[in-house]
Amino acid sequence: MPFNLDILALSPPGWGGVLLGGLLASLELAVGGYLLGLVIGVGGAFGKLYGGPILRDLLEIYTTLIRAVPELVLILLLYYAGTDAVNQLFLLIGLPAVDISGLAAGIFVIGVVQGAYSTEVLRGAIQAVPPGQIEAARAYGMSPFLALRRVTLPAMLPYAIPGLSNLWMIATKDTALLAVVGFSELALVTRQAAGSTKAYMTFYLAAGALYLLVTLFSNVVISFIERHARRGMPRTV
């Protein structure tokens, strides 16, 4: 089996540039989805901890549903339902239907899925913060938002980072699922390249190496962030 590496060249006869473009799309999706998930997660965690009974039950239903159904099925459902719903809404207020970009829909889908998981991670982390610290912030007369920004979020970060870094890894890998709805990220681009050159092994191995590079690089960055967030805390081991 000759591995012809010329087809991985960056310029057009080779497919290297296309693969890197796919990787870029994947990373955009992952970053966007992850950030959206974090926003949903912060809101969800606070809703679960301090919200009223109805809000808590609704959030419980949200996290349970999302975590029990395969991501692939959720992506199909949300991708079609999400774009459909926006168009229906636009129709309702009299705007013309728009073509929602695959990127926006993909970020929405990954974000909603990630939001359920990060809700749970952040809820656990907030509960690990000694309640006295949050009470002290209130006693100082801080508004809820100020207390969140100055006390709760920084104090919970060390507890949340292992879970959140895990979620980032899941986000980068979940982007591959969007290949199923035809969004040309790394996995789909690889499949197309492999299909048209018949060099299946070469391209799948190359794509695997790219994903692995992202993971390993993320690991380095995460350990750096973790060391920064844990500064001043007693060492566990």
- For another protein, the closer of residues 20 and 153 by Cβ is 20
Cα dist from 58 to 46, 65, 208, whole Å = 13, 11, 39
Tell me the closest approach of the beta carbon of residue 68 to another protein, in angstroms. Answer: 4
- For another protein, the closer of residues 42 and 106 by Cβ is 106
- For another protein, the closer of residues 147 and 186 by Cβ is 186
- Provide the token pair at 162: 């292992």
Three-state DSSP string of the chain: CCCCHHHHCCCCCCCHHHHHHHHHHHHHHHHHHHHHHHHHHHHHHHHHHHCCHHHHHHHHHHHHHHHHCCHHHHHHHHHHHHHHHHHHHHHHCCCCCCCCCHHHHHHHHHHHHHHHHHHHHHHHHHHHCCHHHHHHHHHCCCCHHHHHHHHHHHHHHHHHHHHHHHHHHHHHHHHHHHHHHCCCCHHHHHHHHHHHHCCHHHHHHHHHHHHHHHHHHHHHHHHHHHHHHCCCCCCCC
- For another protein, the closer of residues 74 and 109 by Cβ is 74
Tell me the closest approach of the beta carbon of residue 135 to another protein, in angstroms. Answer: 19
- For another protein, the closer of residues 120 and 226 by Cβ is 120
- For another protein, the closer of residues 102 and 148 by Cβ is 102
Tell me the closest approach of the beta carbon of residue 80 to another protein, in angstroms. Answer: 5
Tell me the closest approach of the beta carbon of residue 41 to another protein, in angstroms. Answer: 18
Tell me the closest approach of the beta carbon of residue 219 to another protein, in angstroms. Answer: 9
Tell me the closest approach of the beta carbon of residue 202 to another protein, in angstroms. Answer: 8
Tell me the closest approach of the beta carbon of residue 61 to another protein, in angstroms. Answer: 8
Chain length of the chain: 237
What is the C-alpha to C-alpha distance for residues 32 and 36, in angstroms, rounded to an integer? 6
- For another protein, the closer of residues 39 and 77 by Cβ is 77
Closest CA to 84 of 61, 179, 30, 92: 92
**Where does this chain bind another protein (CB under 8 A)?**
1, 53-54, 57-58, 65, 67-74, 76-77, 80-81, 84, 169, 173-177, 179-180, 187, 190-191, 194, 198, 200-201, 204-205, 207-208, 211-212, 215-216
